[in-house]
Amino acid sequence: MADIFYTKDHEWIKVDNGEGVVGITAYASEQLGDIVFVELPQKGMSFDQGKDVAVIESVKAASEIYTPATGEILEINSSLEERPEVINNDPLGSGWLYKMRVLKPEELKSLMSEEDYNKLIGAKS
Amino acid sequence: MSELLNENVYVEKTSLFDFHNKMNAKMVSFGGYYLPINYAGGIISEHKHTRSKASIFDVSHMGQIEINGPFVMEAMEKILPISFSRVLPGKIKYTQFINSEGRIIDDLMIHRTNNENSVWLVVNAACKEKDMRHLKKNLNKNFTINLRDDLSLIALQGPKSELALSRVIPCISSMEFMSSIWVNYKNYKVLISRCGYTGEDGFEISIPNKNVTSFTEILLKNPEVKLAGLGARDSLRLEAGLCLYGHDISQEITPLEAGLKWSLDKERLNNADFIGGYAIKDELINGSKRNLLGFLPKGRAPAREGTLIYDSQDNLIGEVTSGGFSPSLSIPISMGYINSSLLDQKEVFLDVRGKKIPTEVVRLPFLSHNYFKKVN
């Protein structure tokens, strides 16, 4: 059973057996509007928690993605290069951005549970 | 993700504010007003709907200014690079307020009305106060200058605009592009102008604030008509190569640099007898410092405002002033200025987050205009 964590910057990470899948939340996708371009990190690169690793561009603006956890990029969702709108259609599923090896699992405690995240966005809307 | 929403300080509401909320608009502040960036369908679908059918935009933030007084056209010719001898009564002209250095204070539409003592102006929201000061300074006390904030302004844009509006107000079918008429509708008057900011046929309609919601609802009953927000308005005007004040034109930029020479009256320019006339005539003789061009960056990354432009030798030669994704062409498009000594470049490089993107230089517009032409 994978655990899912959220950042206050609207990323999610689903962690299973030391591997994480990262994406943006439905709330973020809705706020951004039509997504037209995604710039993803390269496989093999390593980042510290909170570092900007990717860029998502909607019709309106460019937004940076900060990695929810420290680790190494294992795989990127290269289908987004041709079809970035998949993030809008399925942000928590096929619109995932990258997979990573989570090197500091203790960091995940600093992230939010689904319940806490829903409270955060509930307060915004 | 970086911060999605900016908190606003003080922002005004248009008369359609409650209506927008009822229609599930996503509201943003623009030019000091709360306006929809888009409704539920999103920017791309609103953009495409406008190009194929017709959309209503709330543009009530724009300033509508009525100027009355004897010989008002002569007085306005001292301020504007136009000749009313070549603008028939009932016609509209695109023009600019220009300062003594020949740079753009604001761009605007001016209507020659059927009353020779009255002209009608539509100016940019963020420039309203500056424009009013400019007018008061340059027109004598015999003129009344009235900012008509009792009126809202909606734009109906797209190839089905005439069909839709004529079901409500039949007489508009005979209107020429860039003309306007006052029409009695129910118990109030509306000013209908056949013009717009999308590159399509369309109308802008001035309506008393208290009637604008009901009028908008009536227009929306047309099956071809949907609502659209500022997001689509921006992508539509960018495809059409139309300048946005504060971005592509400003008090740093001249009309010649911005490719607006077509809007300057030749004889007036030759006589240089308007504010800024000498500076512009001088620029015409000696050449402009920079020129507005279109750019097609390779790949899918949009090159937005502020993106720097380099030549193949890595020299900085210009800057993007508007850029984004073109929903009609499904590619990124940008416009911006290149130093005029380097205008013959066919390929330049746009610096998007440190990557130099090979970019084709093109003439504006990106998409040819689809304005209404009357068949005689």
Residues of chain A in contact with residue B50, where contact means CB-CB under 8 angstroms, are none
pLDDT surpassing 90 at residue B357: yes
- The token pair at B323 is 């850029």
CB contact under 8 A, A84 and B300: yes
pLDDT of residue B342: 79
pLDDT of residue B9: 59
| Residues B157-181: tens digit of each pLDDT | 999 999 999 999 999 998 999 999 9
pLDDT surpassing 50 at residue B300: yes
pLDDT surpassing 80 at residue B187: yes
pLDDT surpassing 50 at residue A47: yes
- Mean pLDDT, range B199-226, rounded to an integer: 98
pLDDT surpassing 60 at residue B219: yes
pLDDT of residue B344: 78
Distance CA A63, CA B5 (A): 11
Q: Which residues contact B153 (CB under 8 A, 6 or more apart)?
A: B58, B59, B60, B62, B64, B122, B204, B205, B206, B207
| Count of CB atoms situated within 10 Å of the CB of B306 | 12
DSSP code of A42? P
Residues of chain B in contact with residue A28, where contact means CB-CB under 8 angstroms, are 1, 4
Task: Give me chain B's average pLDDT, please.
Answer: 95
pLDDT of residue A2: 77
Task: Concatenate the DSSP letters of all residues of B47-60 into one string.
Answer: HHHHHHSEEEEE-T
Boundaries of every domain in chain B: 12-61+150-239, 289-366
Asked if A31 and A58 touch (Cβ cutoff 8 Å), the reply is no
B5 pLDDT band, cuts 50/70/90, is very low
- Whether B12-61+150-239 and B289-366 share one fold: the answer is no
B5 part of contact set with chain A, CB < 8 Å:
yes
Homologous superfamily of B289-366:
Aminomethyltransferase beta-barrel domains (2.40.30.110)
Closest partner residue to A59 (CB to CB) among B1, B26, B325 is B325
pLDDT of residue B174: 86
ipTM, 2 dp: 0.88
B184 pLDDT band, cuts 50/70/90, is very high
Using alpha carbons only, how large is chain A's radius of gyration in Å?
Answer: 13
CB contact under 8 A, B300 and A32: no
CB contact under 8 A, B43 and A60: yes
| Count of CB atoms situated within 10 Å of the CB of B239 | 24
CB contact under 8 A, A63 and B38: no
pLDDT of residue B341: 84
User: End-to-end CA distance of chain A, in Å?
Assistant: 31
- Mean pLDDT, range B189-200, rounded to an integer: 98
- Mean pLDDT, range B209-223, rounded to an integer: 98
B346 pLDDT band, cuts 50/70/90, is confident
**Residue A26 pairs with which residues in a beta bridge?**
none
**Residue B119 pairs with which residues in a beta bridge?**
B67, B112
pLDDT of residue B374: 79
- To the nearest whole Å, the CA of B296 is away from the closest chain A CA by 15
A109 part of contact set with chain B, CB < 8 Å:
no
A8 part of contact set with chain B, CB < 8 Å:
no
Q: Which residues contact A78 (CB under 8 A, 6 or more apart)?
A: A40
pLDDT of residue B1: 55
Domain extent for A33:
3-124
**What DSSP element (H or E) covers B335?**
strand B331-339
| Residues B74-127: tens digit of each pLDDT | 999 999 999 999 999 999 999 999 999 999 999 999 999 999 999 999 999 999
| Residues B247-292: tens digit of each pLDDT | 999 999 999 999 999 999 999 999 999 999 999 999 999 999 999 9
Residues in chain A: 125
- Mean pLDDT, range B29-40, rounded to an integer: 94
pLDDT of residue A1: 61
- To the nearest whole Å, the CA of A8 is away from the closest chain B CA by 8
Give the domain CATH number at A24.
Answer: 2.40.50.100
What residue type is assigned to position B123 of the chain?
V
B42 part of contact set with chain A, CB < 8 Å:
yes
DSSP strand pairing (B12-13 vs B33-38): parallel
- Mean pLDDT, range B145-168, rounded to an integer: 98
CB contact under 8 A, B2 and A9: yes
- Mean pLDDT, range B45-70, rounded to an integer: 98
**Residue A103 pairs with which residues in a beta bridge?**
none
CB contact under 8 A, B5 and A31: yes
- The token pair at B240 is 């059409």
Interface list for A 12-51 with B (CB within 8 A): 24, 28, 31-34, 36-37, 39
B158 part of contact set with chain A, CB < 8 Å:
no
Give the count of Cβ contacts less than 8 A between chain A and B: 59
CB contact under 8 A, B2 and A33: no
Identify which of B56, B186, B64, B72 has the alpha carbon closest to the alpha carbon of residue B128. B64
Provide the whole-model pTM: 0.94
pLDDT of residue B234: 97
Residues of chain B in contact with residue A9, where contact means CB-CB under 8 angstroms, are 1-2
**Backbone torsions φ then ψ of B12, nearest 5 degrees:** -85, 160
Least-confidence region, from A51-65, B1-15, B242-256: B1-15
Residues of chain B in contact with residue A32, where contact means CB-CB under 8 angstroms, are 4
Count of domains in chain A? 1
A55 part of contact set with chain B, CB < 8 Å:
yes
The CATH number assigned to the domain with range B12-61+150-239 reads 3.30.1360.120
Residues of chain A in contact with residue B231, where contact means CB-CB under 8 angstroms, are 33, 59-60
pLDDT of residue B114: 95
Best of B1, B5, B328 to substitute, by most chain A Cβ atoms within 10 angstroms, is: B1
